[in-house]
Amino acid sequence: MSTSTDPTRESEAPAAASQTPESLVRPSSEDLDGILGKPFKVLDDGFIRVVDYMGNDGSIVQAARVSYGQGTKRVHEDRGLIRYLLRHRHTTPFEMCEIKLHVRVPMDCWRQWIRHRTANVNEYSTRYSEAIDASQRTPADEWRTQSAGNRQGSEGRLDAELGRRLSEEEAELQARSREIYAHRLEQGVAREQARKDLPLSTYTEAYWKVDLHNLLHFLALRMDSHAQLEIREYARILGEEVVRRWCPLTWEAFLDYRTESLQLTRLEVAVLQALQLGDDPKAGTEGSGAGSEAGSVAGSEAATRKAESFGWLEPGKSGKWKRNRERAECEAKLTRLGFQIPWADGPSA
């Protein structure tokens, strides 16, 4: 890690006593300084580049120590403190760090991005200036099919031959809409009106300033597999190329406790307990042993009864359970943890 200040300096003096001037060094990150202004390419013609920033991992530690007092310093190392803060959602210290980015994003993706209200934004104005002459193009092998399970999502790819035709149509549409836009401007139509038929694939640019707490929130939502692939690409680059360099301890903790962690609902905890301990978690699977075959059959049956009691197991057509989103989410977590799905055989089994 390359931070250039002693994060504990200020906090060693009680706040009220620190009235004598002291020379301070502005906290920085050598790794982030090394990429200031460098555009990281995203999609075919988009980018993210860091324009400015304030603070580093040390600034988070420094702010936290003000709230915890000197004593805590002996207990926690910086890394341990940052990890503690993130694990326990003590979030305000992360707001001490800020970053300003210059981004170039297709408008459909920007429409999702701009929903994050906790940033400060200034966007390129297509009332004032001509719209950026670039649209996001889709390569022939990157047309995705509609997901069957998630109405908002996609899965799989169309075959490349069909994709080639779709990409040709896309190029025609983008060229034609640009031609019409240019024609309107030539005829004297105001830019604010001429733009109305430009496609959502048109790139826009913005300055986007956000604090680290809200940036992590953005990344948690937009790096997630439920987010649209295009914005996921921006979030991934922002995380891996920018936050990792800027605040490496925070980035590590964020991966450990947010993106790579697993949250269990009360119902899922009950299913797992039943799997391991049978119908009565307090009594355990006495005699049969949770690891034994008898114990595991008893556990599976108990977990299935739990799922039934939650209304997750309604018989559907063709010998399968009716679709149930909460059950599906629980199944994904059980699979990730290496468990067999106890009710997998379906109602007719």
- Contact yes or no for 247/60 (Cβ under 8 A): yes
Site for ligand FAD in 151-210 (CB under 6 A): 152
Task: Closer to ligand FAD by CB, 63 or 215: give it.
Answer: 215
- Contact yes or no for 31/245 (Cβ under 8 A): yes
214 binds ligand FAD (CB under 6 A): yes
Q: Give the catalytic positions in this structure.
A: 222
Among residues 87, 127, 165, 226, the one that binds ligand FAD under rule CB under 6 A: 226
Token look-up 């003096």 returns 13
Q: Minimum distance from CB of 116 to ligand FAD (Å)?
A: 4
288 binds ligand FAD (CB under 6 A): no
CB atoms within 10 A of CB 328: 13
- Contact yes or no for 24/9 (Cβ under 8 A): yes
Q: What's the CA angle centered on 93, arms 88 and 98, to 5 degrees? A: 130
Q: Minimum distance from CB of 325 to ligand FAD (Å)?
A: 14
Q: Minimum distance from CB of 205 to ligand FAD (Å)?
A: 20
Binding mask 12-51 for ligand FAD (x = CB under 6 A): ----------------------------------------
Distances (CA, A) of 112 to 18, 175, 231: 44, 25, 8
Pairwise CA distance, residues 221 & 321, whole Å: 30
Q: Minimum distance from CB of 166 to ligand FAD (Å)?
A: 24
333 binds ligand FAD (CB under 6 A): no
145 binds ligand FAD (CB under 6 A): no
Task: Closer to ligand FAD by CB, 48 or 194: give it.
Answer: 48
Binding mask 88-117 for ligand FAD (x = CB under 6 A): ---------------------------xxx
DSSP codes, 48-96:
EEEEEEE--HHHHHHHHHHHH-THHHHH--HHHHHHHHHHTT--GGGGG
- Contact yes or no for 135/226 (Cβ under 8 A): no
Pairwise CA distance, residues 221 & 118, whole Å: 14
Task: Closer to ligand FAD by CB, 214 or 324: give it.
Answer: 214
User: Which range in 37-45, 220-228, 241-249, 334-342 contacts ligand FAD by CB under 6 A?
Assistant: 220-228
Phi, psi of 101 (to 5 degrees): -115, 150
Site for ligand FAD in 242-281 (CB under 6 A): none
CB atoms within 10 A of CB 187: 8
Task: Closer to ligand FAD by CB, 166 or 237: give it.
Answer: 237
The residues of the shown chain that bind ligand FAD, judged by CB under 6 A, are: 115-118, 152, 214, 217, 221, 226-227
